[in-house]
């Protein structure tokens, strides 16, 4: 029997879209637990047209089904990342009508999506990644050198979990090292626009328009930067992803500027903040449990379980949106053509029907079929890279650090989209 539509109460509606909730985390998980039981496909309406209403999906099975049915649940028609109405209007003004500030793999549907994805897919497959393993190991080693040079206490985010995946993905993309600080600032502005420590504005409270302007400014700067890189990679192609993109053709034509920029931006942006968050989360779990650190040091076969569980436990990409292509049903709830849906990965990955004791960090969890990388046609292109980077980094850390513990309160970023720790103060002793 189909359920009638039940809108959530105003306090819940505010909480599930408030960046601060994602910084506080545990009370938000309580809300998802309640919704999963009472209203698993919940109608969320903003007051005063603050945002378009959407279905919030909190059960793992429903999130999985939507992710895998790419014909019924589309990415392109509305924005794929939750935005307030004002932000969408601003994007539409800037782009001449598209709700997507950036056109990229995540905003395309079939058949065009696969044509674009195929251009770089090989690059991110395990076979190809094996060829750059040594290079990644070198970057991990330099990163740990810098951590150890800091003394006995340091912020793991600042010295390790932020710079390391950034450096790896920039090397893969083909961005010179001296340009990385600019890339870091731009991605943090794009993803961390809601957090005053990350958006570089120096302002505590920003309006939607200010945030959107910051994001738009970051996109413009990215575009200017990558226009230069394209010219260079066309003149002198090398063996990197930027050269592949700059010289690619789809249906016999080179990519247009917007699509090409979107491609660089998605690889540059999706490729590091996400992995930073899961890396910091893994370290937090280990720092809270010194015995576990000692156990893994003695038995590295435990490491892949830790990496996988950290990715589930942190769920760095907290949501993506879809739009129903036709009237349909999710979890017994009638969904109308054109409705907007939020796949909430945090909620799905904390569904007790799929994961026993989901808030516990359990490195031995098996199976661990989490949804942190999504599923279906858009499943994360960088998932093998993310796992590989984390494994290599922790092999290096475990080899060179004997003990580690928390040296202060970790803090999470205020962000509804890509989120995770922004500070992780640690005390450690070199091996």
Provide the CA 9 distance to its chain's centre, in angstroms: 28
In terms of Cβ atoms closer than 10 Å to its own Cβ (0-12, 13-18, 19+), residue 237 is middle
Q: Which two structure tokens, joined as six digits, stand for 144?
A: 């740990």
List contacts with ligand HEM (CB under 6 A). 67, 105-106, 117, 169, 266-267, 270-271, 274-275, 278, 311, 316-317, 320, 345, 372-376, 378-382, 385-386
Q: Rg of the chain's alpha carbons, rounded to an integer? A: 21
Rounded Cα gap, residues 64 and 369, in angstroms = 10
- Minimum distance from residue 189 beta carbon to ligand HEM (Å): 19
Contacts of 133 (CB under 8 A, 6+ apart): 388, 392
Rounded Cα gap, residues 407 and 429, in angstroms = 12
Contacts of 201 (CB under 8 A, 6+ apart): 210, 214
- Minimum distance from residue 42 beta carbon to ligand HEM (Å): 20
Q: Which two structure tokens, joined as six digits, stand for 157?
A: 């985010």
Rounded Cα gap, residues 287 and 401, in angstroms = 12
- Minimum distance from residue 9 beta carbon to ligand HEM (Å): 28
% helix / strand / coil in the chain, to the nearest 5?
55, 15, 35
CA angle centred on 359, ends 354 and 365, rounded to 5°: 55
User: DSSP characters for 393-425?
Assistant: HHHHHHHHEEEEEE-S--EE---SSB--EEE-E
Longest dimension (CA), the chain: 63
| Residue 271 DSSP one-character state | T
Q: In sequence order, what are the beta bridge partners of 341?
A: 55, 322
**Closer residue to ligand HEM in complex, CB, 13/174:** 174
Q: How many other C-beta atoms can be found within 10 angstroms of the C-beta atom of residue 165?
A: 28
Q: Which two structure tokens, joined as six digits, stand for 11?
A: 């306090």
Q: In sequence order, what are the beta bridge partners of 46?
A: none
CB 378 within 8 A of CB 321: no
């Amino acid at each position: 029997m189909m359920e009638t539509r039940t809108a959530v109460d105003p306090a819940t509606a505010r909480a599930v879209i408030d960046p601060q909730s994602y910084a506080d985390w545990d009370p938000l998980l309580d809300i998802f637990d309640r919704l999963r039981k009472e209203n698993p496909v919940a109608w969320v309406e903003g007051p005063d047209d603050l945002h378009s209403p959407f279905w919030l999906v909190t059960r793992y099975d429903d999130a999985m089904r939507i992710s895998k049915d790419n014909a019924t649940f589309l990415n392109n028609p509305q924005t794929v990342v939750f935005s307030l109405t004002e932000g969408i209007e601003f994007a539409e003004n800037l782009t001449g009508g598209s709700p997507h500030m950036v056109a990229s793999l995540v905003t395309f549907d079939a058949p065009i999506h696969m044509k674009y994805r195929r251009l770089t897919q090989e690059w991110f497959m395990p076979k190809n990644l094996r060829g750059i393993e040594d290079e990644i190991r070198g970057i991990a080693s330099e990163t740990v050198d810098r951590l150890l040079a800091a003394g006995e206490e340091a912020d793991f985010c600042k010295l390790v979990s932020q710079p390391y995946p950034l450096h790896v993905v920039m090397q893969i993309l083909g961005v010179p090292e001296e340009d990385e600080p600019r890339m870091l600032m731009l991605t943090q502005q794009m993803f961390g626009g809601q957090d005053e420590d990350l958006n570089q504005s120096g302002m505590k409270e920003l309006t939607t328009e200010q945030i959107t302007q910051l994001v738009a400014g970051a996109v413009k700067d990215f575009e200017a930067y990558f226009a230069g890189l394209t010219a260079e990679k066309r003149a002198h192609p090398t063996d990197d992803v930027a050269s592949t993109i700059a010289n690619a053709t789809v249906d016999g034509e080179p990519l247009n500027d917007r699509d090409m920029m979107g491609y660089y931006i998605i690889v540059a942006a999706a490729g590091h903040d996400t992995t930073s968050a899961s890396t910091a989360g893994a370290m937090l779990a280990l720092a809270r449990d010194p015995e576990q650190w000692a156990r893994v040091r003695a038995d590295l076969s435990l490491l892949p379980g830790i990496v996988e569980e950290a990715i589930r436990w942190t769920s760095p990409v907290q949501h993506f949106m879809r739009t129903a292509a036709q009237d349909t049903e999710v979890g017994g709830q009638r969904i109308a053509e054109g409705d907007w849906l939020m796949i909430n990965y945090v909620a799905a990955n904390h569904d007790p029907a799929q994961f026993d004791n989901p808030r516990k960090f359990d490195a031995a969890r098996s199976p661990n079929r989490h949804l942190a990388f999504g599923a279906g046609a858009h499943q994360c292109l960088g998932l093998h890279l993310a796992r590989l980077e984390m494994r290599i980094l922790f092999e290096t850390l475990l080899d060179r650090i004997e003990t580690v513990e928390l040296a202060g309160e970790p803090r999470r970023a205020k962000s509804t989209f890509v989120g995770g720790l922004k500070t992780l103060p640690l005390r450690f002793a070199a091996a």
